[in-house]
Structure 1
Amino acid sequence: MAKLRHRGALFGALLALLGPSFALAATNLLEAYQQALRNDADFGAAAAERDAGLEEANKGRAGLLPTVSVSGTETRNSTDQRSLTVLGMRGTTYDYTSSSYGISLRQPLYRPYNWAGYLQGQARASYAEATYEAARQDLIVRLAGAYLDALLGQDTLALTQAQRQAYAEQLVQAERLFAGGEGTVTDINDAKARRDSAVAQELEAANNLEVARRALERIIGQEPGTLATLMADKPVPQGPQPNDLNQWVEWARSGNPTVQAQRHGLESARQDVAKAGAEHKPTLDLIASRSKSDSENNVSINTRYDTRAVGVQLNVPLFAGGYVSANVRQAEAGQRKVEQQLESATRKAVLDARQYFLGVNTGVAQINAYRQAVTSAEAALESTRKGFQAGIRTSVDILNAQQQLFAAKRDLARSRYGYIVNWVRLKAAVGGLGDDDVTHLNSWLDVNRAN
């Protein structure tokens, strides 16, 4: 048993050395999305808020439906009666049980306040649905951003490690040449300085990767494990379809879920004004009741009553000390506030649509340009190495060419992930981001290749 524990400890230490990418199963974007739907706290709160908001429709409808109540009492009574007669004071004691039972119904016939409450309930339920949809699309945006940040962190770490290794090899070569009388101390110092700088960059990249992974963990609620990486030929850069900015702006005005939520919020505010003004108006209700009583008091002992009543009740408010007028003005101010919030949300949606539309188009050009830059930098590095062998280039030239190549690869990685993020945010800005888009993005990942 001790040996088994010892082996288990060794295996655990080995897994720790190899890192979480070996210890845990790979996670692709679609799996991460399913985990986020279950575990993301912000989305869970939005779902609960939606469920609560949907009940506003039922609460509003209740004001139009009849109310029924039942009441009943049963009491044991003991009454001592004393009265003056010609024979003097005489008394009688009554011991009896009295009871009373009734049922009543009230059906609103004309209640402007209740009707406004019904319309407001519908608007609030729609607001809850729109807010939930905004939270669902925001979850996709946050998840995609966190996942891609983690992938970028992995790529950046790999590039800095390769850069450090290349500089270390160049340092070894410079030292060997110097020992043979062909190099200079300057070459050694330059290579050493760049290697040391690359070590510092590697540490920073490792820290950034850890932060990115923890950000992803916060969304999916568990350790992400290894991540499926982006295929080398993905994404295929192309502009938005249709490539018409005005069309995307119009879609943002009409389809953005936050804008839709604010429109429903404005309707709710209008009904607040209607409810406040309705307190000036009369109400009319249909009422019906039936009651039974037995020995209700000491003059009706052993007497039973069965009463039925049907009628209408009119209530006309006359004066409430200025409260109703103040309430109306307050509701109108609230409506103006929501109008401004709607305008702000619309402007933001339009701005987002413009920004991410341009971002997608810019990303297309950047990806193509940086891919060509990587190809050119690789060719330049190869030419510099050959020139060094021919004696027409220095080791510093090689270091510069290597640095240029690593910078081009880093910029290419950023442009690829930035293009995807802008694409996701553009669709969210117009309210068109859905589960199919997550599946589409997931198809760009190589599930057989993970870091």
Structure 2
Amino acid sequence: MQKSLIAVLLSSALMTLALPGAQAADLIQVYQQALANDATYASARSSLDAGRERTTQGRAGLLPSVSAQGSNTRNNGDFRPFNEGQLITDGSGIGFVTRRDTDNHVNSYSVTLSQPLFNWAAWQTYQQSKLVQAISEATFAQARQDLITRVAQAYFDVLTAQDNLTATQAQKTATTEQLASAKRNFEVGTQTITDTHEAQAAYDLVVAQEFAAITDLDNKRTALQVITGKPTGELAPLRAGVTISAPEPAAIDPWVSSAEGQNFSVIASQLQLEISKRDISRNRAGHMPTLNLAASTSHQSTTASGTQKNNAIGVTWSVPIFSGFAVTSQVREAIALEDKARNDLEATKRLAAQNARVAFLGMNSGLAQVKALEAAEVSSKSSLDSNKLGYQVGVRINIDVLNAQRQLYATQKDLSKARYDTVMNGLRLRSAAGTLREDDLAPINALLQH
């Protein structure tokens, strides 16, 4: 009953995969999913939105500021003198001392405008804010490149795991047949028990490898799902015998030069160095005077004294004289940070150049490996066929066939991985050079079997 149920489920799954609408997702489709759902990329996009506000904030220090303030109060009380009720005489006659009310209503408001006329620190802050926004733009561009390479790497990791599982299962099938053959030959007395033991050991090993391959494939699919935010299902594999294009230009120097000048991490470090330079000037402004245009209007109305209005306009200035050596210390700190930024820029350039060299050499080496492994695959197939024939006629033993099988499947695994690594090195090369774009996925996507 359980076997029948499993058979029904497997048949349903195979029928579902065979439906015309159940197409495998390709690289561009998976990238579009990641573009909409990847949390790391969404975080970078939010950082970009935040960075774009820095220019507005920096410009605010150069624009006029207007403020208004006011009050509306009512006082209610009375005044009771100590000699209340006493008879007093003055020039107007005779009377008694009495208490009196002290109610008073005060309504006042004022509007003040201040426009900086000279503030060197505010000007440098504004220039720095534009550089900070440019850094956020470069950082986001790097994040988009990283998304392309992360998606491609996760995609080809899944394909590599699938190829490993397929090759392992094919090896398991072949080993099963070889084990059955060894058992039959032992039963009829044409071979020794050693052949059976060797075939059994090979079968047990490939079963263990199959479990490991299944687990690895599940892990790789989970890693891709982390980026796309949803299960991707079946993926389109590379077509058999595809030709991978060599890097263009074919020389390494143009790629290294591009990496040192156009890599987005290098650009961000260059902008950070410029910010550090302006930070020195901004701190030195602590020794400079500031000049502001000030204008104000005020209105005050009281019950006791009536209404008073006042308008004022003029210039205010401030000259720093002594700040406890704080400004001097801040300037020295800014100079040290500028030196740090310059060293960081040099380190970033060297790293970008190294990444470009590694990717370029890796791509060319990968192309050579693919060509060699394609030839090795043909040779391994011929060797396996020869060993099978020799086994049948008695000139080869069982272990020779098993070794030939292992060599063929190992070569096929290495060939598929070499192709994926070569494609990835091409993407990393463009990323290091700062030229990787979404359009670069189209030629790779055309290599897939849709």
Percent identity reads: 40
Which residue matches 1:446?
449
The one-letter code of the counterpart of 2:231 is E
Which residue matches 1:112?
120
Contact 1:269 1:331 in 2 (8 A): yes
The one-letter code of the counterpart of 1:265 is Q
Any residues of structure 2 matched to 1:184-223 within 5 Å, and which?
A: 184-223=192-231
- Matched residues in 2 for 1:401 and 1:17: separation? 36
Residue 91 of structure 1 deviates from its aligned partner by 6.2
Contact 1:377 1:401 in 2 (8 A): yes
What is the TM-score when the length of structure 2 is the normalising length? 0.90
Residue 306 of structure 1 deviates from its aligned partner by 2.7
Q: Does 1:430 align with 2:433?
A: yes
Mark the runs of 5 or more structure 2 residues left unpaired by the alignment.
91-95
Find 1:158's aligned residue among 144, 166, 175. Answer: 166
Secondary structure of 2:296's aligned partner: strand
Residue 307 of structure 1 deviates from its aligned partner by 2.0
The one-letter code of the counterpart of 1:383 is S
Residue 275 of structure 1 deviates from its aligned partner by 1.9
- Matched residues in 1 for 2:11 and 2:390: separation? 44
Which residue matches 1:320?
323
Mark the runs of 5 or more structure 1 residues left unpaired by the alignment.
1-9
- Matched residues in 1 for 2:78 and 2:300: separation? 22
Which residue matches 1:7?
none
Find 2:61's aligned residue among 60, 63, 66. Answer: 63
Q: Does 1:261 align with 2:263?
A: no
Deviations 1:166-203 (CA, angstroms, capped at 9, x unpaired): 11101111111222221121111111111111111111
Which residue matches 1:285?
292
The structure-2 alpha-carbon separation of the partners of 1:149 and 1:188, relative to structure 1 and needing over 3 Å to count, comes to same
- Matched residues in 1 for 2:345 and 2:427: separation? 23
Q: Does 1:365 align with 2:368?
A: yes
The structure-2 alpha-carbon separation of the partners of 1:341 and 1:16, relative to structure 1 and needing over 3 Å to count, comes to farther
The one-letter code of the counterpart of 1:336 is D
- Matched residues in 2 for 1:112 and 1:273: separation? 12
- Matched residues in 2 for 1:431 and 1:397: separation? 51
The one-letter code of the counterpart of 1:232 is A
Any residues of structure 2 matched to 1:286-365 within 5 Å, and which?
A: 286-295=293-302, 298=304, 301-302=305-306, 304-365=307-368
The structure-2 alpha-carbon separation of the partners of 1:177 and 1:425, relative to structure 1 and needing over 3 Å to count, comes to same
- Matched residues in 2 for 1:140 and 1:13: separation? 40
The one-letter code of the counterpart of 1:102 is S
The one-letter code of the counterpart of 1:56 is R
The structure-2 alpha-carbon separation of the partners of 1:79 and 1:330, relative to structure 1 and needing over 3 Å to count, comes to farther
What is the TM-score when the length of structure 1 is the normalising length? 0.90
Which residue matches 2:190?
182
Residue 396 of structure 1 deviates from its aligned partner by 2.0
Which residue matches 1:6?
none
Point out the more displaced range, 256-265 or 365-374.
Answer: 256-265
Deviations 1:59-95 (CA, angstroms, capped at 9, x unpaired): 1111111111112222213475789997496765343
Q: Does 1:14 align with 2:21?
A: no
The one-letter code of the counterpart of 2:245 is Q
- Matched residues in 1 for 2:97 and 2:57: separation? 62
Which residue matches 2:33?
35
- Matched residues in 2 for 1:11 and 1:170: separation? 27
Q: Over the residues paired in the alignment, what is the CA RMSD in angstroms?
A: 2.5
- Matched residues in 1 for 2:206 and 2:8: separation? 28
